[in-house]
Amino acid sequence: MSSLPTRKYIFTEDFVQEEKVPESPYIIGVCGGSGSGKTSVCREIIKQLTNKRVSLLSQDWFYKKLKEKDLENVSEYDWDHPDALDLDLLVETLQKIKKGAAVTCPKYDFCNNQPSTTEYATVEGDVILFEGIHIFHTEELRDLIDIKVFVDVDNDIRLGRRILRDTKERGRNVESIINQYFKFVKPGYDNFVAPTRKYADIILLRGSSNKIAINLLINIPGEMEISNQNKQVFCYIGNKTLESVIFALQMIKINENNNNNNNKSSLINLNYMKIKELFCQRSHI
Ligand SMILES: Nc1ncnc2c1ncn2[C@@H]1O[C@H](COP(=O)(O)OP(=O)(O)O)[C@@H](O)[C@H]1O
Ligand SMILES: Nc1ccn([C@@H]2O[C@H](COP(=O)(O)O)[C@@H](O)[C@H]2O)c(=O)n1
């Protein structure tokens, strides 16, 4: 697993702000069967990571363009085999994103079974939510992911959700969904997706309804985040609670000369009791 992105802090008058250094984004890989809620989990995390630049990267955008003869007989096409995807292009794209590049990809048009010609997504930021059924399939892909999450939801629930979603959003009818499910989706899951569950760092049960697990996940990209919202110091801390608090509070800039505005300042060494007192005041605990 690669290391967490390094952080730089801007010292302002009475709080600490984090400055993003353009670095390798942190990749959260969300794998699981179709309909398990991968996209919904990613959206929930994105919604909550408000103090970061976050993008979604979907494996679905890397389905190969269908040949004319396959388009004529789509019901016989196996979308659930890893070969249906351009995994080389996916690796190449993820490598570019990891280097800090902004990459624009065409989205996927499920109604026409082709890459979209009208909808595009630009992927860049501090955190990338990367989702798909085969994202743990190769070692090359797995190595590009910082934390691997597997959304584990029963087959029947996934099928039910897929019926509701694909009739509404993907231009399918119930009969075609059920036929495709038993012919390709379930075997594809059993043969290729379920065996990659073992690579996960976290197994996420119940998908996006699992608020406790989602809350834990949003704290992973940074050991500590400090924002200036409401002029309080907020610490979202991983496993180094007290050390991180001490560090954060030691970084608080004391402006020695507020009135003459000459920006002279110093960091003060706060003793432990003072730090604790400040922390309690600022975070209202
Ligand atoms: N926890 C949940 N409870 C109920 N419905 C859900 C839940 N998570 C996702 N869904 C719905 O199920 C469908 C499939 O979810 P989605 O996130 O698209 O799954 P995936 O990306 O794994 O295929 C969507 O219509 C979504 O709104
Ligand atoms: N033209 C296509 C391409 C893919 N599929 C199905 O999509 C599933 C993966 O996407 P999720 O968002 O559901 O994870 C996969 O199981 C394919 O069967 C499709 O139906 N048509």
Average pLDDT over residues 8-14: 49
CB-based pocket (< 6 A), ligand 1: 32, 34-40, 161, 164-165, 207-209
Write out the E strands in the chain: 8-11, 16-19, 26-32, 54-58, 103-109, 114-123, 127-131, 147-152, 202-205, 224-225, 236-237, 253-255, 265-267
Helix residue spans in 219-264 (DSSP H): 241-250
Residue nearest to atom 12 of ligand 1 (CA): 161
Question: pLDDT (tens digit, 9 = 90+) per residue, 159-170?
Answer: 999 999 999 999
Residue 72: DSSP 8-state: T
Q: Which of 45, 79, 161, 205 is the best mutation target for the ligand 1 pocket, counting ligand atoms within 8 Å of the beta carbon and taking the most?
A: 161
For 68-91, b/e burial (b = at least 16 CB within 10 A) is: eeeeeeeeebebbeeebbbbeebb
This model of the complex carries an ipTM of 0.99
Average pLDDT over residues 261-285: 43
pLDDT at 278: 52
The model's confidence at residue 60, banded by pLDDT at 50, 70 and 90, is very high
Rounded to whole angstroms, the Cα distance separating 157 from 143 reads 30
Question: pLDDT (tens digit, 9 = 90+) per residue, 244-261?
Answer: 445 555 554 333 333 334
Average pLDDT over residues 169-187: 98
Rounded to whole angstroms, the Cα distance separating 178 from 45 reads 30
Which tokens in the block code for residue 52? 């970061």
* Bridge partners of residue 122, in order along the sequence: 104
Q: Residue 193 pLDDT more than 50? A: yes
Question: pLDDT (tens digit, 9 = 90+) per residue, 201-240?
Answer: 999 999 999 999 998 888 876 543 433 332 233 333 333 3
Rounded to whole angstroms, the Cα distance separating 238 from 217 reads 10
Which tokens in the block code for residue 254? 């004391």
- Mean model confidence pLDDT for the chain: 79
Q: Is the CB of 79 under 6 A from ligand 2?
A: yes
* Bridge partners of residue 31, in order along the sequence: 150
Contact present, 8 and 18 (Cβ < 8 Å): yes
The dihedral sign for the CA sequence 219, 220, 223, 227: negative
Q: How far is the CA of 35 from the centre of ligand 1 (A)?
A: 5
